[in-house]
Amino acid sequence: MSAPDPFRDLGVQADADGGRIRIWSENATSVDLVIFDPNDLEWATDRVALERDDHGVWHGPSEALVPGARYGLRVDGPAGPSHAFNPVHTLLDPYARGLSPADDGSWRGAVLGNHLDWGDSAKPHVPLDHTVVYETHVRGFSKLNPAIPEELRGTYAGLAHDSSLEYLTNLGVTTVELLPVHAFVPEARLIRQGKTNYWGYNTLSFFAPHAPYASAAAQAAGPEAVRREFAGMVKRLHEAGLEVMLDVVYNHTAEEGREGPVFSFRGIDNGSYYRHDAHGRYVDTTGCGNTLDFGRDAPVRLVLDSMRYFAEELHVDGFRLDLAATLARDDHGGFTPEHPLLRGMLEDPVISTTKLIAEPWDVGPGGWQTGNFPAGFTEWNDRYRDRMRDFWLGDLRRERETGTAGSGIGRFATRLAGSANTFSTERGPLASLNFITAHDGFTLADLTSYNVKHNLGNGEHNRDGTDSNNSYNHGVEGDTADRAIRAARRRSIRNLLGTLLLSAGVPMLTAGDEFGRSQRGNNNAYCHDSELTWLAWDAAGRPRSAPDLLATTRRLIRLRAENPALRPVRFGRFGEATPSASQMDWFNADGTTMTIDDWNSPEERTLQYLAASTPEFEAFNRILLVVHAHESDVEVVLAEHAGVSGYTLLWDSADEAPTDAAIDHAPGDRITMTGPSMRLFRAHASD
């Protein structure tokens, strides 16, 4: 018989007849449950002293713990450099499913019922190789959409509106990844500056949806209605065939550094929840002032319980784990891929069925861990991002300034084919989450319009945000009326979109990149809740190129879905047919097999990539991708290969708008590639 689980059922377990609460605090000397009047959150109606068990769990019953109740905690304990006990503070239960703010700046937990009506709704379970992630912001996505009733714009209900669903399904993405929707608050510094935390990476509660993203009517009705609107959003997205992923911030909390606010963990047991050195000082591996200590069992369990709650009870399909290297630091502070938290995610019967995407770094010692997470995780591939930006933008800039691009095409090809040099054969190309842009950094349009960041509006004297952007303004910083520069920028955007959506791996598209959204050169717009960060929906708010770029993005996503050779599940072995892998052959502009010199020469900027899928779940398919990264035109001899009888052009990045005109070629035909550009062909098999 297995030993009892000391951390089972933490938080409130309640029904109409009352309930129990269980709170972990290893160092506390007393913990009281305080019940508040729901109509006056300063008025305590009951106080119950909890009992401690042998594992540091404080527990007790209360007839007042019924759905609709509001409650808090008062905790006392020893003094010392790593402690912050104060029995006067009213603290938030880390497991609270709903929140209510008190007038004094503290928070009350809200007891919610257990019923949500899911009807016949089911999770889409999109296979990872078919997945196209769309990273967006709940508020920013629909805030300006005139087709949505004004009271629903910028809300969970707005994202679930017919207009939103129609846009997303027509675009062709499969998986909507939401910037943080766990309840959060702005940092004290931003409040003093009159700004806000728009992105939401400052978590207050790991179990409650962020109430300000609910409609005003739901907020007025209370935490139960907020959760119901969130669940309704998930249900509607599922009915449209779209998955819902959450960007989750488990590495630190809204309590900030040691002088930050006391909301929950700090007052419950600062010394146990947060990571400290031998002198009681915070060990900060996130750059946010505090770091949860995942060398301890209770914080590990907290994260697993939160993920299981959102996956099982709120039907979420997956999680993007912010600064995930922090989550895998052991009791000595070192990263380990065998960390109990990572193993727990992979072994949990609920969490393991979701998509798990790691941001594989933090700012602590040994914090860059791309490629080192265990099988079962997909990782943000920063090497892919940097190389693809450099290939299409940095190299173009160097070529214009010095006459040579400065690097060979081999590194580009490695990333295009799934980053086999980063991810093990066991994990395969789907371990790579490919992205060119994300919420953090330049938009795709700004990558092609600015050489440097323009972040003065953030109030930090342009010191914030990265200086390593691998961007290129094509000759003029910012907006310009020069038609040639504007055309060159649009072509670069199409090349970057094509690279992203035709590469092996899992692509992530940042909301707005599909129509050329700009943040006017701000590469760290975390504190702007305004039209700078919201998506424009009408012609007046979008660039003139928007319709063509949108059509291009739709076309590329459709081509990806239709051609399994672009979506290998496994790395193929040379000379062997590996199920669900692509058999890849590489040719130069002359149509001959690439040599070592071709791969490494900075002068070699043209290649042909012939990939054939090996059927396992889908029909046999073969594609030819021709890439040319010089500005000058080049004549390309289309590759001749056994079993290939001809090619049909599917897409050409040199074209402003995609067309359905089929253009056929034979192997050995000569075509002129105008540079820089890409062409995708479907290869036809010989009879």
Active-site positions read 322, 359
Give me the residues paired with residue 243 across strands. 175
One DSSP character per residue, 391-445 reads IIIIHHHHHHHHSS--S-SHHHHHHHTT-TTTS-TTT-GGGEEEES--SSS--HH
Give me the residues paired with residue 644 across strands. 685
70-76, strands of its sheet edge to edge = 40-49, 30-37, 70-76, 107-110, 98-101
- CA nearest to 176, candidates 191, 156, 204, 196: 156
- Encoding tokens for residue 538? 């009408």
Backbone angles phi, psi at 393, to 5 degrees: -120, -55
Give me the residues paired with residue 368 across strands. 361
Tokens 């035909």 sit on residue: 669
- CA nearest to 223, candidates 122, 98, 385: 98
Backbone angles phi, psi at 435, to 5 degrees: -150, 145
- Encoding tokens for residue 682? 């479907």
Backbone angles phi, psi at 596, to 5 degrees: -60, -40
**Strands 582-587 vs 606-613: parallel, antiparallel or unpaired:** antiparallel
Count of CB atoms situated within 10 Å of the CB of 282: 18
Say whether 606 sits in a helix, a strand or coil: strand
Q: With contact defined as beta carbons under 8 Å apart, do 589 and 634 qualify?
A: yes
143's CB contacts (< 8 A; 6+ apart) are 153, 154, 158, 534, 535
Q: With contact defined as beta carbons under 8 Å apart, do 581 and 614 qualify?
A: yes
18-24, strands of its sheet edge to edge = 11-15, 18-24, 57-62, 51-52
Say whether 245 sits in a helix, a strand or coil: strand
Burial zone of 344 (CB within 10 Å; 0-12 exposed, 13-18 middle, 19+ buried):
middle
- CA nearest to 598, candidates 463, 409, 444: 409
